[in-house]
Amino acid sequence: KRTQQSIRNYFNVK
């Protein structure tokens, strides 16, 4: 089973 990641896990909030 694969889980959808959030884009926020990869890019820092400025």
CB of 3 to other proteins, least distance (A): 6
CB of 7 to other proteins, least distance (A): 5
Q: Which of residues 1-14 bind other proteins (CB under 8 A)?
A: 1-14
CB of 9 to other proteins, least distance (A): 7
How far is residue 14's CA from residue 3's CA, in Å, rounded to a whole number?
A: 26
How far is residue 5's CA from residue 11's CA, in Å, rounded to a whole number?
A: 12
What sign does the dihedral 3-7-12-14 (CA atoms) show?
negative
Enumerate binding residues for other proteins (CB under 8 A).
1-14
